[in-house]
Amino acid sequence: MTVVDGTRGIWTCTTDLDLLRRLARGEFDWLVVDAQHGPVGRGDLYAVGRALDGAPAPFLVRLPAVDAAWAGAALDAGAAGVIVPSVTGAADAERAALAARYPPLGERSWGPFPPLWGGEAPTPEAANDTVRCWVMVETPGALDEVDAIAATPGVDGLFVGPFDLALSLGTTPDALLDDDSPDGPLARVVAAARRQGLLAGGFAGTPDRARRMRAHGLDHLAVTNDAEVVDAGLRSLLTDSED
Ligand code: 3PY
Ligand code: MG
């Protein structure tokens, strides 16, 4: 199993397996399959896992909610980790962390998919060592309890969702990213992660937001997404053809 600690990720919503395989060629350190917003359902995980088995870039699944069954299914499919959205406090973070690891560290149930397609499943020990449980900080409750979340055993990283965090704080993503006060929301997330030696990252979605988030110390970033890769390719190829 690969440990997903690289800093440059790409976000995807597609269920197109060929596109996913192209995007997982390794230009990015990791790829996120988003099961919260978009067409990806639990029934897609088997095909996604099979298509991405052995791909140069490992994949993470952003779950639809704090949901142990979904976390188990995503990891069974071969995901190197989960990104858990809509966490409202430390109790949610603990549920998420327990779902991501097998006993004695957690409560994950055994049932990996790779043997079903002739692939190999890691041992429970290897899976526990390498899995990454990213807890999203995107609600006021998670921000209030960010230190307790970071101190929760089995939480490996804090992942900022700037859109929901801004919405729920009554501000805008731009204002959130521009707030560089020492007790601003992003500074609090980074400080909590550093105190506990955790990874800190988030959804940027554009290179510009990625630069601004990196300036706060959030360095594990989804810097673009599948649709934008296609759109940017179209724009640049069209421009090239007219030069
Ligand atoms: C957010 O910004 O709220 C996200 O969840 C990114 O996908
Ligand atoms: Mg969100």
List pocket residues of ligand 1, CB cut-off 6 Å: 85, 138, 161-164, 203
Q: Determine the average pLDDT of the residues in 189-197.
A: 98
* Model confidence pLDDT, tens digit, residues 80-137: 999 999 999 999 999 999 999 999 999 999 999 999 999 999 999 999 999 999 999 9
Q: Which long-range contacts (CB under 8 A, 24 or more apart) does 204-208 make?
A: 204/162, 205/11
Residue 97's nearest CA partner among 128, 141, 143, 76 is 128
**Confidence (pLDDT) at 242:** 81
Which residues are registered as beta bridge partners of 103?
none
The yes-or-no verdict on residue 5 having pLDDT over 70 is no
Give the mean pLDDT of 204-211: 96
- Pocket test of ligand 1: the residue of 164, 169, 189 to mutate, having most ligand atoms within 8 Å of its CB, is 164
Of 70, 79, 74, 17, the closest CA to residue 226 belongs to 17
84: CB partners within 8 A, 6+ apart: 63, 66, 71, 92, 93, 96, 133, 134, 135, 136
pTM of the model: 0.96
Architecture, CATH, for domain 8-241 = Alpha-Beta Barrel (3.20)
- Cα–ligand 1 centroid distance for 125 (angstroms): 31
CA dist 154 → 27, 70, 116 (Å): 29, 17, 28
Whole-number pLDDT of residue 4: 63
Structure-token pair, residue 181: 């006060």
For range 173-197, the mean pLDDT: 97
Contact status, residue 71 vs residue 25, Cβ threshold 8 Å: no
For 58-85, the pLDDT digits (tens) are 999 999 999 999 999 999 999 999 999 9
Report the C-alpha gap between 150 and 159 in whole angstroms.
Answer: 11
Q: Once rounded to an integer, what is the mean pLDDT over residues 38-47?
A: 98
User: What is d(CA 192, CA 121) in angstroms, rounded to the nearest whole number?
Assistant: 34
Question: Could you tell me what percent of the chain has a pLDDT over 90?
Answer: 94
Q: Please tell me the distance between residue 117's alpha carbon and the centre of ligand 2 in angstroms.
A: 33
Residues 6+ apart with CB under 8 A from 132: 3, 4, 5, 60, 80, 81, 82, 156, 157, 199
Residue 160 identity (one-letter amino acid): V
Pick from 6-10, 18-22, 108-112: least confident: 6-10
220 catalytically annotated: no
Return the ∠ at Cα 12 (arms to 23 and 54), rounded to 5°: 45
> For ligand 2, a single-atom ion, which residues have Cβ within 5 Å?
138, 161, 164
Banded pLDDT at 3 (limits 50, 70, 90): low
> pLDDT at residue 2 above 80?
no
Q: What pLDDT score does 238 carry?
A: 87
